[in-house]
Amino acid sequence: MPQSLEKLTALIKSEILLGEKFLALLEDKKSCIVENQTERMQELTQEENQTIEEIEELGYSRQDLVLDICKKDKYRLTENLGDLLKQLPQSIRTPLQDLRSELLTTFRNIASASQLNAELLKQNMDFTRHMYNRITSADRRVKNGNYQRYPSKKPAGISSATFSNKG
């Protein structure tokens, strides 16, 4: 295998490893969402952002390398790995196709885990909003240092200050 394709293979493997690291962070974040560990979620979000930047850089490097391989080996110009693979001889194509499939699967798993975390966060926020609205919208007044729902029931034996026209 030519050196440029070996470099491409190593780059894709690095992307897969970073993707798996990102998946582990998403799993940790899911646990933090469920357990409402906000401080840990903030730490994980910072780690996620750093990992995303690293994945993006590797993706740009992969696209540049694919383009360089196309120019050097006189293939049709493309930055797309799938398009390059179609142009390669079968003996070289198969191992790279397997790596590409693994990379795509990793990215699909990341998308799925991210979507699940987003839904969990939304449910958490909806519940918090619901509870906040219940607490703040209830008409309450203070009586004897205790909060009671308004209108409160009068204890038995206390008469009303209203006049009656009966008898």
Residues 126, 127, 130: CA angle, nearest 5 degrees: 85
pLDDT one-digit tens code per residue, 40-58: 999 999 999 999 999 999 9
Of 45, 55, 43, 50, nearest to 17 by C-alpha is 55
pTM: 0.74
Q: Which residue in this structure is represented by tokens 């206390």? A: 158
pLDDT one-digit tens code per residue, 2-28: 899 999 999 999 999 999 999 999 999
CATH T-level fold of 3-142: Methane Monooxygenase Hydroxylase; Chain G, domain 1 (1.20.58)
pLDDT one-digit tens code per residue, 93-148: 999 999 999 999 999 999 999 999 999 999 988 988 888 888 877 555 545 556 55
* Sequence-distant (≥ 6) Cβ neighbours of residue 48 within 8 angstroms: 22, 25, 26, 29
Domain ranges of the chain: 3-142
Band of residue 81 on the pLDDT scale cut at 50, 70, 90: very high
